[in-house]
Amino acid sequence: ELKVEQNPLFLSMQEGKNYTIYCNYSTTSDRLYWYRQDPGKSLESLFVLLSNGAVKQEGRLMASLDTKARLSTLHITAAVHDLSATYFCAVKGDQGAQKLVFGQGTRLTINP
């Protein structure tokens, strides 16, 4: 059974600092997603990673995928308060259905 683990689960950081969120998954998958969720809101798609070595960047966020290590990272550069949110990684399950298995989420708080 596919399991997805994120760490850390909680992250409090100062504006201007850099940090990385890690996402490990237990079985082979051909795609990984990163989502952002604000309190009480739905999921906003950030990145779709489809192949080993894939790297995508949008603003201060950069995501990468290592399928051999079954590891994805979400790197935050020079954090700003607006990036405060919960970040989820999700991996496509190995069944026929396009099922996503989510990590527990990383609650990111960026302090001025």
Partner 1 sequence: ETGVTQSPTHLIKTRGQQVTLRCSSQSGHNTVSWYQQALGQGPQFIFQYYREEENGRGNFPPRFSGLQFPNYSSELNVNALELDDSALYLCASSSFSARWEQFFGPGTRLTVL
| Contact between 17 and partner 1 per CB under 8 A | no
Q: Secondary structure of the chain: what % helix, strand, coil (to 5)?
A: 5, 55, 40
When the beta carbons of 71 and 80 are compared against partner 1, the nearer one is 71
Is 42 an interacting residue with respect to partner 1 (CB under 8 A)? yes
Is 51 a binding residue for partner 1 by CB under 8 A? The answer is no
Work out whether 47 is an interface residue with partner 1 (CB under 8 A).
no
41, 54, 56, 77: residue in contact with partner 1 (rule CB under 8 A): 41
DSSP state of 39: T
C-alpha separations of 52 from 10, 32, 41, 72, 101 in Å: 27, 10, 31, 10, 19
- Among the residue ranges 16-24, 61-69, 74-82, 90-98, the one whose residues contact partner 1 (CB under 8 A): 90-98
Would you say 72 and 63 are in contact if contact means Cβ atoms under 8 Å apart? yes
Residue numbers at the binding site for partner 1 (CB under 8 A): 4, 33, 35, 40-43, 45, 48, 88, 90, 92-93, 95-105
